[in-house]
Amino acid sequence: MAADVYEMYANIFRALAHPKRIKIIELLEQQGKMCVCEIVAQTQIDQPSVSKHLSILKNAGIIESEKQGLRVECWLKSPVVSELLKGVQEILKKDMESRYIASLKR
Angle between helices 3-16 and 19-31 (to 10 degrees): 80
Domains and CATH numbers, the chain: 3-77 (1.10.10.10)
Q: What is the 3-state secondary structure of 75-91?
A: EECCCHHHHHHHHHHHH
The whole-number pLDDT of residue 98 equals: 84
Distance of alpha carbon 84 from its chain centroid, rounded?
A: 10
User: Residue 59 corresponds to which amino acid?
Assistant: N
User: Of 63, 66, 70, nearest to 25 (Cα)?
Assistant: 63
One pLDDT digit (tens) per residue for the chain, 106 residues: 787 999 999 999 999 999 999 999 999 999 999 999 999 999 999 999 999 999 999 999 999 999 999 999 999 999 899 899 999 999 999 988 887 777 777 6
